[in-house]
Structure 1
């Protein structure tokens, strides 16, 4: 077992209990239940081995899907004890064993699934499910110094004026969802670092500087703010547009970023067009990150069907392959 210090925040930094700056870099994996049931050639713990020993990650983000969106019989809320004992606890315990921080992400993706061809909004409709999720999960890992809680993966907005457009109101999100969830988690887990996103798939984050979420237990608050960024996100808005208003004021962590040439419009891109700019920004501001995603099905993929890294520089790879696949880019910057 490897002891990892608890993390907290000071000003705009994530630090350990001695005040040392901590910049965690790693990857997202697929939902552990999906790995267990659908990913041949690997087990859940095999995936941890690969991201820790082969890549050198310091943190892994674990998306826990609360509900069965697509009729596959998956989802934490359908089978809480089974999910916890079979999938999640063994994974987090193994992270403790090897010395890996683990972000438990309540992985709602607002807008999914489609209902009669239209996206299903929004986060306010999932309030009771979110409370149920954290009432179960938060106390389970409160004594784990390596565990971080990500309260809600990608909220969109209440009362949309258009199916894919605003209003994206930080104050509605904070007052109606983010603050109540943080308060609920703190009832069970007073010390774990908490990550908070924002409306429009965590792109509308400026309000975090002027109206931050309060920590009812810790002063200074053990809360950091996240963004997700992809080449086609919100008509290609870049990471500087999202983070410049907050990066010098509150702690920031980039919990999703990725690209894959030829994939769907959100993630379609290359290292030259997107990845290099992203890496330069996070390194300039000394931000931690978890790339999306160390998987061979979910895009933007980092590995192929045989779980070999995509986009590595080698004698048999060409520039197009290296530039269009993010696995090699991630490995070189971990």
Structure 2
């Protein structure tokens, strides 16, 4: 989620949906040392199906809270956590040592660690936002923190990498970023966010996902949509998620909430459909929200014993984390 901005839901009415490209079933060109995608499913390093069930934690802004937050998130049943990092362009940089420490804390808590570079948020519209190319520069600079951690980490290249202008460049920009990551030697599963502040109301990611996936030399890319006010009806939620599932393209709901200033997301359908289709979701966010969206906090003041209504919903409600999460087998759970 953009810290201060979100997508404009009203633009959705101007769009006409188009069909997805043909299903993609090709396997990775090279064996993956960790997570991999096969036939539209995310598999862990043991070859077992893995469905992300977790939340986002804003480590970049709350480094002193991370240790306790990860322990609490795990205790509430999550199997994964998406970690906000900064390239140093907009916020204080998370350097190699810090990123390595986050990965080790995730492993200690038996959580799969989805690492994301947040400074790309709203590129082309948000002042100061950086390109996916700049995010790739960052990943190469902190490579030692994630090298050899392919079993435990997924790299989310850049958060919401285009706003509501210039988003037509998403396909080329994302494909180039993936190619650069592979050329630099990254064998990790890569996660790529949709444009339009992550909400893809233009269906740019939806309609070009097959081509982007096929362009990854390792065929190991997962797509992430952020569901806020654009997804305020059951039909919109189901249609978007079903398109990816029927085309055998891997999709994760990388962020979503139960309310938002740009509209009221249908969290019940998001969670129910994700369970029905076996798709991952990562709710936004554990605690520390500002910019008028404090209602998205799951835990009041980072305190697990003070869950908000949203926190209780995502962890303990129907189709929630406690009910549906399964720990990754790389931790010896199965």
- The alignment's TM-score, normalised by the length of structure 1, stands at 0.72
- Tell me which of 52, 59, 66 is aligned to 2:80: 59
1:245-295 per-residue CA deviation (whole Å, 9 max, x = no partner) reads: 2222201111111124xxx513x64xxx72211111111111111110001
**1:96 Cα offset (Å):** 1.6
Task: Give me the whole-angstrom Cα distance separating, in 1, the residues matched to 2:216 and 2:222.
Answer: 14
Task: Give me the whole-angstrom Cα distance separating, in 1, the residues matched to 2:278 and 2:231.
Answer: 25
SS of the equivalent of 2:142 reads: helix
Quote the residue 1:331 is aligned against.
315
Task: Give me the whole-angstrom Cα distance separating, in 2, the residues matched to 1:138 and 1:184.
Answer: 13
Distance 1:215 1:147, change over 3 A: farther
Structure of larger gyration radius: 1
Distance 1:283 1:75, change over 3 A: same
Query: Do structure 1's residue 36 and structure 2's residue 42 form an aligned pair?
Result: no
SS of the equivalent of 1:143 reads: coil
Query: Do structure 1's residue 283 and structure 2's residue 310 form an aligned pair?
Result: no
- Tell me which of 71, 75, 86 is aligned to 1:49: 71
Contact 2:40 2:250 survives alignment (8 Å): yes
Contact 1:215 1:223 survives alignment (8 Å): no
Task: Give me the whole-angstrom Cα distance separating, in 2, the residues matched to 1:296 and 1:186.
Answer: 34
Task: Give me the whole-angstrom Cα distance separating, in 1, the residues matched to 2:157 and 2:266.
Answer: 27
Quote the residue 2:171 is aligned against.
174
SS of the equivalent of 1:153 reads: coil
Contact 2:155 2:189 survives alignment (8 Å): yes
1:36-75 per-residue CA deviation (whole Å, 9 max, x = no partner) reads: 36xxxxx32111111112x111111001133454xxxx33
Unaligned runs of 5+ in 2: 1-32, 322-334
* Matched residue count: 275
Distance 1:181 1:112, change over 3 A: closer
Distance 1:209 1:181, change over 3 A: closer
- Tell me which of 96, 108, 115 is aligned to 1:84: 96
- When the two chains are superposed, the root-mean-square deviation of aligned CA atoms in Å is 2.9
SS of the equivalent of 1:94 reads: helix
Distance 1:35 1:173, change over 3 A: same
**1:243 Cα offset (Å):** 2.8
Contact 1:208 1:246 survives alignment (8 Å): no
Contact 2:175 2:212 survives alignment (8 Å): no
1:53-107 per-residue CA deviation (whole Å, 9 max, x = no partner) reads: 2x111111001133454xxxx332xxx6xx332x322221111222211011011
SS of the equivalent of 1:328 reads: helix
**1:191 Cα offset (Å):** 2.4
Distance 1:308 1:201, change over 3 A: same
SS of the equivalent of 1:200 reads: coil
- The alignment's TM-score, normalised by the length of structure 2, stands at 0.72
Distance 1:183 1:309, change over 3 A: farther
**1:179 Cα offset (Å):** 1.4
**1:242 Cα offset (Å):** 2.9
